[in-house]
Amino acid sequence: MLDLANKVLKLAATADWAEVRIEKAEGNSVILKNGNPDAAGFDRSLGIAIRVLVKGGMGIAFTNRLDQASLQAAAEKALKTAKAASRGLRKPVVLAPQKAQTADYSADCKVRPADIDSSEKLALLMDIDNALLSTKVKLPARMLQIDDSTREQWLVNSEGTSIHSTIPRLCFTYLLTAERDGDTEQRMRELGATGGWELVKQWKLEQQLTEEAKLLARILTAPRAVDGVTDIIIGPEITGIAAHESVGHPQEADRILGREAAQAGEAYLNADDMGLKIGSPVVNVVDDPTVRGSYGWYRYDDEGVQAQRRPLITAGKVVGFLQDRRSASHWGIHSNGSCRASAWDREPIVRMSTTQVVPGDQSIEELLEGVKRGIWIKTYMEWNIDDKRFNQRYVGLEAWNVVNGEPTTLVRRPALELTTPAFWSAVDAVGNDLGWATGHCGKGDPMQGVPVWFGGPSMRLRNIRLGLRPEAKA
Amino acid sequence: MTEHMTAEDVVELCRKLGADDAVAQLFVGNTTQVKFANSAIAITQNWSEASLNVFVACRKRIASVMLEDLDHLVVRSSIERLLKIAKSSQPNKDWAGLARGPFNYTKPKDTFDKNLVDTDKATDWVNAAIAATSAPKAAGVLYLRDTGHVLATSEGVHAEDRGTSAELSIRAFFEKDESGHAVSASCTKAGFDPEAAGRKAGELAKAARKPQPGQAGKFDIIFDPLAFADLLSVVASSASAYNVDAGYSFLAGKLGKPVANPSVTLLDDPTAAGGLGSIPFDDEGRPTQRTSIIENGSLRTYLHNTSTAKKFNSTTTASAGLIAPQPRNVILQPGSASKDALFKQVKDGIYVSNIWYTRFQNYRTGDFSTIPRDGLFIIRNGELWRSVKGLRITDNLQRILENIAVLSSKPETMLWWGMEYQVPVTTPYVLVKGVNITKPTM
């Protein structure tokens, strides 16, 4: 494939700069719905992306027709459209300088997920489903799904970069619906990682899901949260989603420069906001694709730039943006390796990988001790944020009243609805209980869902006014 | 289709290897995209793609494969593997087979236009749309699609279709927080009006000057077609029998019951002339049909394929998806009010021109929130009074449908990146009474 990539690169030799990315991918999926096996499925793809720069215009052609004529046509299409785009450009596309890289790497993987028979995966799901039924919790809807993918990529460019990589990933997804007297609560969650099938055992899925089911049954009996001002402790799952949504996204350089303005949106931050204070001094946030086993793990990004830990917020202040080569040229700096494409037929753009609040040194007990009256929100269902990443909302699923430092009773659906600076400025203590959540982050046009982790420790937020809640409807 | 095999060859191979039921779908397409930002072209992308989906059932054990690698050996080995997977699986107790063909098909009118094939007008159309905004900054995307589709099944179906579309989504900006968004999407060049979309986006952005923080409370809201299309995409998806079964639907258990104001009739109509999602056949090869999901406010049916229809003791709506039935071309029947008359009915309310990020606390109850973006206006005595920002719609989807008060008379077709489910929706302007609005508490 490397030979093919280099051969195609020559087809685009008249470009000022050219890059060829070949991706061979396979995926497998097994779904169990309410104890009934849905179609076991798999996918295979092999395709090529040719990205070129001509006189400051950028063009890309994608094809999975790999005969000589189709490759030639694709290269010509990329060149032609890049030339067309260069005409009348206000500002030519410039890529930040990058040393040529050569690498051949793969993720740690003892047992290839693709080698596990689908019947074994189905048996795993059926065992989980039987365990759920044995809880005696009324669960009228149970969706269980296990997916794996292996992405092998060859990346070459006209500057001499040549990288071959193989990355296997696993993801388990579930939606549980618990019912009591016509009332329902739901829990949806993904568990993902980069690596082999051996990771599945570590997830202890039967134990986790049966505990979730029993908890949903208890939540159904809990009273609704009341509005008012209170101290809040959030668990790692909510810390993580807040870091992803309201720190990672607004610090994507392409958003700041307006390139996603009509889709995922812009950012409340401006290009010259480096150093701006948005949180309390205990808040530190990084994005780090090198976290071993993380779902967004890679060693080189999809432009061939080495992966690295990227500080975003340090002591409450903005210290960095996520950059690809195109955006980095705006600031006259180097890319920090944040460029990813979700598939062979997608444009590489600025993306997060593993975004986290850096843990502090307090235990969860110490965080709780500091709360006379408050709410400890451990998980969530509903969340969203505006397209500038300024107005965010998280509605708790597992949430506990806290009285004099002790969790007492469950409380239902407390809503945090805060501006980004208000959220991060309210943090007065950061725990040491680092935890991770899995997601598929959506961005780009056509949409690209890329695998990510987000996480951090529990955090304590002082004097938070809970959001107004809508009237419930059965 | 592939260099060596037709869709029928694939079905035949599946049968030889032991499949009771088999479906092969081949997609071949050419797509051009022009993405622009800061009023300039950011990138032009071109796709030349072919893919093959194969589905089999062996003694009610079902399996599927999606191939974007159509090398003959890969296709053959993948089908062999597919059968092996199906045979080693467990029976799906709901599997009830495929629609028995052959069928005759009628291609929906105005779903293919040779003027949209291999055109070099993409850049011109983008530039015309940008200029029409009269705004200092515009961003967006234009897609030109030309897609062919061949389907064969073990029940004697052979079906083919080819469709085109031009889809422009444009957002205009003046100063900070002053933006407007509009869409023009059509299967034909005649129905495509990029300048009109640019103009509307620019006018909304201009009207959105100096937005101030809005207030929480209950308000009568006029939804622009762009905004309401997003909610209707969720409603239509919730009507899929698969989603009802899986816990993803607020419509579960409500067949025959009122779920909306009596003025509401919601269709899925893949037979509609010029429909962006119109297609002659579903994924089993059954001729598509016009289906009333909600009729005069009552939930008439879920969307079905052969298997879900049997499970729900109903009849298929020709909405396969082999696993999950799906809406293809959603239409909210218009009312009789002009847009102006609809606005005049609102003494004190809000006009929402666009929304995004619709998320549920609970799919079964329909409790959700979504965020207005772009022009958001207080309406006083039927006029746009001032521009506001920072609000969130926090309500229940069924209650929104029940509280629909007025529908305008001219529907518009919407399909853009921000829609929760990527299904084309045609909807008029909609007035909904008493919608719950929240805002950040700090």
Q: What string of DSSP letters covers B277-314?
A: T--SB-TT-PBP--EEEEETTEE---B--HHHHHHTTS
Contact assessment for residue B225 and residue B414, using Cβ atoms and an 8 Å cutoff:
yes
Residue B195: pLDDT band with limits 50, 70, 90:
very high
Residue B40 and residue A471: Cβ atoms within 8 Å? no
Interior CA angle at A223 toward B234 and A226, to 5°?
Answer: 85
Percent of chain B, pLDDT > 70? 99
Surface of A (358-397) touching B: CB under 8 A = 381-388, 390-393, 395
pLDDT of residue A90: 80
pLDDT one-digit tens code per residue, B343-356: 999 999 999 999 99
The interface pTM score, or ipTM, of the predicted complex is 0.96
Mean pLDDT of A386-392: 97
Q: What is the mean pLDDT of chain B?
A: 96
Surface of B (24-83) touching A: CB under 8 A = 32-33, 35, 37-51, 55, 61-71, 74, 78, 81-82
Task: Please tell me the distance from the alpha carbon of residue A211 to that of residue A219, in angstroms, as a whole number.
Answer: 12
Residue A39 and residue B323: Cβ atoms within 8 Å? yes
Task: Please tell me the distance from the alpha carbon of residue A353 to that of residue A342, in angstroms, as a whole number.
Answer: 12
Mean pLDDT of B291-315: 98
- Helix, strand or coil for residue B210? coil
Bridge partners of A42, per DSSP, are A28, B65
Q: Which fold has domain B7-206?
A: PmbA/TldD fold (3.30.2290)
For residue A174, give how far its alpha carbon lies from the nearest alpha carbon of chain B (Å).
Answer: 11
* Domains of chain A with CATH codes: 2-219 (3.30.2290.10), 229-465 (no CATH)
Q: What is the mean pLDDT of chain A?
A: 96
Contact assessment for residue B306 and residue B315, using Cβ atoms and an 8 Å cutoff:
no
pLDDT at A472 over 50: no
For residue A345, give how far its alpha carbon lies from the nearest alpha carbon of chain B (Å).
Answer: 8
Contact assessment for residue A335 and residue A323, using Cβ atoms and an 8 Å cutoff:
yes
pLDDT of residue A473: 42
Which of B41, B47, B399 is closest, CB to CB, to A62? B47
pLDDT of residue A474: 35
Report CA A135 to chain centroid distance, whole Å.
32
pLDDT of residue B120: 86
Percent of chain A, pLDDT > 90? 95
For residue B347, give how far its alpha carbon lies from the nearest alpha carbon of chain A (Å).
Answer: 23
Mean pLDDT of A66-90: 91
pLDDT of residue A468: 64
- Helix, strand or coil for residue B418? coil
Q: How is chain B split into domains, by residue range?
A: 7-206, 211-438
Residue type, B353: S
Query: CA-CA distances (angstroms) from residue A2 to A24, A70, A156, A267, B147?
Result: 12, 18, 8, 39, 31
pLDDT one-digit tens code per residue, A223-237: 999 888 999 999 999
Q: Residue B338: which H helix or E strand, with range?
A: none
Rg (CA), chain A: 24
Does residue A226 sit at the B interface (CB-CB below 8 Å)? Answer: no
Does residue A260 sit at the B interface (CB-CB below 8 Å)? Answer: yes
pLDDT at A369 over 60: yes
For residue B339, give how far its alpha carbon lies from the nearest alpha carbon of chain A (Å).
Answer: 26
The residue with tokens 């952005």 is B205
pLDDT of residue A13: 97
